[in-house]
Structures are given as structure tokens and as C-alpha cells.
Amino acid sequence: MGDVDGAIYNLALGLPNGVEMAAIQENLPQSPLETIVNGVNRLLKDGKLELLQSGNKVYYRGVSSDEMKLMGAMSEDEKLVYKHIENSGNEGIWVRTLKQLTNLPQTVITRSLRALESQVLIKSVKSIKHPTRKLYMLTSVSPSSEITGGPWYTDQEMDTDFIEQLARQCHQFIYAYSYPRHNPEMVYSANHTGYPTATQIKRFIAENRISNVDLSLENIEELLTMLVYDGKIERIAPALDADMGMSARFGKTDWMYRAQRISSKDSPLTDIPCGRCPVANRCSNTGSITPAKCEYFTKWLSF
């Protein structure tokens, strides 16, 4: 491999999404355009570069030695099928879509898929949106939450028990901060800012290991939205001031959540340990005395 070819190859190999011709020229200012173009063509012919297109732009992606060895063992049909599966990422690709993109007969596609599966290069997954469809993706790729349903699904089935348990824990946590602990029958003033946010609820669930599944902030907000629609909690916009932080400045409201008052008979506050705690007035989200560190509060949440 010549100096120019090697420079082009190393540049493309270091950029997973490929490099444009203009960028190659910028990195090789001493090389004439004709020399660069000839080098690119040689690398394409040798399979060391791959041509990618995004809109009107053309990129050149470097193909590693391991990838070249892998592709070298495939038939041309298998290479074509493999590339389309690779390009589908974590969304996967349907057999019918493969047929449309490759223009290969169904028998050839089926044979290629079997060969790639036997080498453990690809895998098939099922989508919760289209249970009857089999999607294909690379073995090393984890399917997106759009396909698996995220933490709310187990084996393509909605885990209602898990959802209800988490929703109950969220509701109890919010209720504990929705009314004064020394007198649950009272209400906070209109400018009260101590109601929990989704971020605080996420931290509470993680610190208390309530869920064995990693939950994102979006997952927590989905649970809270469900509780809002169920009429159990309500969203409250924080007061507008200079200390609202980055989320407010970029147009995202950091909502607080307040539980709707329920009858004293059914209220979680009737037996919450906070009401009988002698150091409740010293309890806060930070410091040595916090709900996250309270063993009585943790036991209460497990009921």
C-alpha cells in the first residue's frame, strides 16, 4: 500500500461514519486530486474502503482487516444481505424489506440468512409492534426499546405486575412529600417547591434498589404520566426564576408532582413512619437523615 493509499485508509478507518473526499484532500494537501482519486479507487477495488451515501453526500468508510476476512468468506449474495442487515442497526430489518432492497429471489435470501445465522453473525428478534414479523440484526447489536418494549416487557409480554409495583412505589413516594408530615390534613402554600421531580423519583428508585432493571428518566416519566391519567397525581410547574437550571433555559420544564388527596382510610400517610418520627423535622434529601437512608421508610415502601 503506497503512502497516499495508506494515509487515506488510516483516515477513513478512524472515522466510523466515513470521510468525505473534501476532508481527504484537506488531510493530504501535498497530494494532487488525481492521485487521491486513484488511491481511493484502488482501496475500493481491494475492499479496504466502502462507499456510503447519506442524502447528497458520499462518504468512504475504512474496512478493518477482521471485517475484510469476514466478508471474504461470504458469497456475493451473503455480503449483500449482511450489509443491509448491518445498516439496519438496532432497528433490525424485515425479510420483505430485504427482498425489496436487494432484488434477490426469496430462496436466495433465505439461504443467505441461514448461512449467516449458522456463523452466528446475525440473529432474529421479534417486535412487540409486529409480533408476526421476524427482524434480523447483527448478533452484537442489542435491539432498540421500540422493538423490545423496553423495561415494561418480558419475552414480548407486558409485565403488568412490574409496572403496577413501580407505579405504587412512585405514588407512595410522591404522597409522602405532598402534604405536611406533622399534619397530613393541611396543605402546602401555593409557592411550595418541595414536591418531587422525575429526577428525584428516579434517584429514589435507584438508591433503594426497587427495580432490578435500569430505568431511564423517560421510563420514570412514563410511569408518572400513567399516574396523572389515573387521577392519582398532578403535574405542577416550578416557579419561574433565575435558578431553574439548564432544562428550563432550553424549554424543558422540570415538572414537580403532587399526589391527589385521598381519604384518610386509604391514605399511605396513615401509617407512614414519618408521622411518628422524632427527627422528622431534621429529615431532608441531603445530610445524615434522609428518606433514602431510613430503614423504617424502606420497610414501609415494601408493603
State residue 235's pLDDT score.
92
Q: If pLDDT is split at 50, 70 and 90, which confidence band does 278 have?
A: low
pLDDT at 184 > cutoff 60: yes
Amino acid at 232: K
Q: What is the pLDDT of residues 284-303, one digit of tens each?
A: 766 667 777 777 666 666 65
Measure the CA–CA gap between 9 and 32, rounded to whole angstroms.
Answer: 17
Task: State pTM to two decimals.
Answer: 0.55
Please indicate whether the domains covering 3-64 and 74-148 agree at the CATH topology level.
yes
**Residue 243 has what pLDDT?**
47
108-117, 130-139, 153-162: segment of lowest average pLDDT? 153-162
- What pLDDT is recorded for position 73? 82
Domain boundary assignment for the chain:
3-64, 74-148, 151-301
Architecture of domain 3-64: Orthogonal Bundle (1.10)
DSSP 146: H
d(C-alpha 213, C-alpha 63), whole Å: 36
Reported as a pLDDT band with limits 50, 70 and 90, residue 200 is very high
**Each residue of 162-181: pLDDT tens digit?**
899 999 999 999 998 998 87
Please state the rounded mean pLDDT for residues 210-219.
87
Which pLDDT tens digit goes with each residue over 8-52?
888 988 888 888 999 999 988 888 899 989 988 998 888 888 888
According to the 3-state scheme, what is the secondary structure of 175-229?
HHCCCCCCCCCCCCCCCCCCCCEHHHHHHHHHHCCCCCCCCCHHHHHHHHHHHHH
Q: How does residue 135 score in pLDDT terms, banded at 50, 70 and 90?
A: very high
- Give the pLDDT of residue 108: 93
Q: Give the pLDDT of residue 247.
A: 45
Q: Which residues pair with 50 in a beta bridge?
A: 61
* The pLDDT value given to residue 155: 72
Does the domain made of 74-148 have the CATH classification 1.10.10.10? yes
Per-residue pLDDT, 233: 92
